Structure 1
Amino acid sequence: MAANASSRATVLLFAVYASLASATTYTVGGVHSWMTGVDYADWASGKTFVVGDKLLFSYVRTDHTVTKVSKSEYDACSGSDAKSEDNTSGLTTVTLATPGMHYFICIMPDHCAGGMKLVVNVSVTASAGSGGLEVTGTNAGGGLLVPVKAPVVAAATVALIELGLL
């Protein structure tokens, strides 16, 4: 039993480290950065965002903001109750720490309405075609291990605690 738990822990640790190493930093808007007149829906299409990835917003700090908002605030281009990220440097990095939809706008007058709004759908793991890690094999007891796709750190930590190895 202990060998089986140890084998599972090794696979989980390997997957966690691979997941961390494969995190991607995306420069929002690509060469256009965070500014009016960019189609951010087009920029985000075709990209697979996963937990641990980062969004780098580059902008003129006196002209724009990066504000994380709810869906309704995104739809209404209103960030009155929203949390503005660090907007003092002109370089704001947001780590995508949870799965689901994440909404960002610029709250400067008319900027959101002019297209400075971004929504990204964050997955827990990358798909096999996007560089996700799949680990298979047999454990020390000879049984087949269930495939594991690069779990997030929190999930792996919970599993290790449940196995009594942390």
Structure 2
Amino acid sequence: MSIFKKNRKAELPAISTASLPDIVFMLLFFFMVATVMRNDTLIVKNELPFADQVEKLDKKNMVIHIYAGKPSSRYKNVGTEARIQLNDKFANINEIKPYVLEEIKSKPEALRPYLTTALKVDKDTKMGLVGDIKKELRTVNMLRINYTTKTGKSTNNLE
């Protein structure tokens, strides 16, 4: 006979759920802090072209975004020509200057010389529209322009 006998009739103790609300609130706070809210809702088609020499922008708070492309499928009533999107609305070329000036004023004084304009242009958009956007940016003296692209071989743009 063995000295140690196992009590086969003993039941497992119930799992304590006292710390469950603490865990739930920790997860809630984590996701509230870690989640990045999207600033703009795209209303234009924005399939970015490929480029092989890409650099990442360091500070996202020093970037002014301008989108260009054909209206997305939800906005077909606007037409099929490429349009400019500033914030969450369609805009004309002459609305770029006031938009950029307003964005510059909203940034701290120390960051203003380092602001960059990021053009997120659909790969099927004609360069005439991009040239017009750049001309308007020159009138506001926004000469630091970044073209947002996807990383890859530039020959992929021909497909």
| TM-score normalised by structure 2 residue count | 0.26
- Output the TM-score relative to the length of structure 1: 0.26
